[in-house]
Amino acid sequence: MAAWLIYALLSAAAAALVSIFGKIGLQNIDANAATAIRAVIMALFLLGVIAVQGKFGQLGSILAQKKALSFIVLSGVAGATSWLFYFLALKYGKVSQVGPIDKLSVVIAVILAFLFLGEKISWLNSAGVVLIAIGALLVAVK
């Protein structure tokens, strides 16, 4: 099995746990404050990971690359915005509805990759993207 597929499946499993743990944790608390706490915990955890891997020194070289850093910052802002909206949606909605709608990000990412990165999409890929969109909506509709 390809490494990217293993990592993608592990990512999906971890993301599913985010939904479950987040929904349980959001009872009677502010979603934005909870998201901030989550972000701090994630930052500390990830700093620990790179320290254990011996890659802490790479932070300086990344900070020195202005273009890379700019896009990493934009990615961080987009991710934080996504988390804010995701936790708000979880607070007021059902995981079984919020999760599938959130996965429309796959559809949006493929479209943006086509438009801005020049990634090619075959007819088969396009059919899959349409099916993902239809599936997400069908699962979320109650």
Q: Cα dihedral angle (57, 82, 23, 94), rounded to 10 degrees? A: -150
Q: How confident is the model at residue 9 (pLDDT cuts 50, 70, 90)?
A: confident
Q: What is the rounded CA–CA span in Å between residue 23 and residue 31?
A: 10
pLDDT, position 119: 95
pLDDT in tens, 75-99: 999 999 999 999 999 999 999 999 9
- pTM of the predicted structure, to 2 decimals: 0.82
For 14, 91, 118, the CA distances from 22, given in Å and listed in that order, are 12, 8, 35
Average pLDDT over residues 104-110: 94
pLDDT in tens, 53-75: 999 889 999 999 999 999 999 99
pLDDT, position 141: 85
Task: For residue 109, give both structure tokens.
Answer: 């990412």
Measured between its terminal Cα atoms, the distance across the chain in Å is 36
Q: What is the rounded CA–CA span in Å between residue 50 and residue 60?
A: 13
Question: Is the pLDDT assigned to residue 41 strictly greater than 90?
Answer: yes
